[in-house]
Amino acid sequence: MASPLATRVSKTIKERKLFRQGCRTVLVALSGGADSVALLLVLQELGYETVAAHCNFHLRGAESDQDAAFVTDLCRKLGVQLHQTDFDTIAYARQQSLSIEMAARELRYGWFARLQQDLDIENVTVAHHADDNAETMVLNLCRGTGISGLCGMPYKREDGVVRPLLDASRKEIEEYLAERKVSYCTDSTNTDTRFRRNLIRHRIMPLLHELNPSVDEALARTRENLEGVAACYAQALEPLRQELHASGKINIQTIQSSPAPFTILYDLLHPFGFNRSQIREMATAMDKAPGATFYSPTLRLIHERKALALLPLASDPSGKEYYQLNLADDKLDLPDGKRLTWRKGTPSELHLKSLHRPNKQLLLSAKAVEMMGTLILRHPQHGDYIYPYGLKGQKTVSRFLIDRRIARSRREQTWLLCHDEDVLWIPEHGADRRFALDALHPSEEYILFSFCP
């Protein structure tokens, strides 16, 4: 007789059509934690031939190696073919200017894709479960999100990644392993609430359970409801996506006659790198005379008489430029002869005696920069705002520079250090107070940026 967890997973696989009919071999992402161990055992119980894949990210010292040894021993006992790989995650994060979390994600899924191709296996299964999905929904809500974000994680991705445990709770998984007296690894960092997901798991979710003891079921119902809405919305938007990809244009009358012009513009243009502030400005600009131009890191969008035209950035005669910082280096030379440099270290290593810095320097927490991931140096564009240090409220970057009597020609060539749509610093002119430090801690590391005009 199948276990309750196996019965639930079997139902999810069938209802969500996770595997192609007749598929019996699957790749299991096996970290050694409770969730992935349970996934491996359940799929075996359901009769699937399992092949395991384990990544050692070398982020937790001896503990990472212990996980790898545990996985090796478990697969040997179960007779499961195991593929293992090692990553220098920290070096990769620095090279790609990514957070550690994003670097590990890129490395993991990139390797899974190559392994799928090499082994000719259609699907890789990952062990995200219902509690993970509830946490993802709350996290996305706190960040600000749309319908797809509130749906949480999909059961199946286009690249063949599937989540058979997504209808099972963490409690069900732990009970399943306890009944079988199967051990597993525990990641010591799972209790560190400096990580956002852990903060949601250990502090926010318990409070939501006080508000509604059945909050997990409520979130699952919400997700199911929104999945249907998202599917209908995606279907309605598809003709506009196809037109944009085919012609490179968005018909202004079509957008203006829709019940939610900004929402549609956002879903069409955000994948091309345009941020929320820019897109809101675009929605407003459609009612005005043509000519406005907006820039993403690789493209520009021009307001023409009847359409918004998407064009490559390279064909822009004004020479707008974007540079992604590689923090593994220590400088970025710009074509106008200016240079941005940076150094990482403790206050003593950086010879810092106070937080006060001239406008040609910016001091940020190294941890904060790591969490941000990608930093970009670029020129001002429509929709840019800054919360000036030492002042109240916010200002457009344009108004901020006008108030400092910067000529228009110079304003257009001013450099901004940005993360996503946030302006962190306008070198030579001022920083954003939202990223200011409260104090210097002797043992913590910082990054000191300097601008050489």
Tokens 């920290």 belong to which residue? Answer: 90
Residue ranges at the known binding site for ATP: 31-36
Write down the residue that tokens 């699957």 correspond to: 26
β-pairing verdict for 249-251 and 339-345: unpaired
Q: How many CB atoms lie within 10 A of CB 221?
A: 11
Rounded to 10°, the helix 215-247/130-143 angle is 60
Known binding positions: 31-36
Both tokens of 85, joined, read 């790989």
Dihedral Cα 435, 436, 442, 447, nearest 10 deg: 50
* Distance from C-alpha of 390 to C-alpha of 285, rounded to nearest angstrom: 32
Q: Which residues contact 20 (CB under 8 A, 6 or more apart)?
A: 122
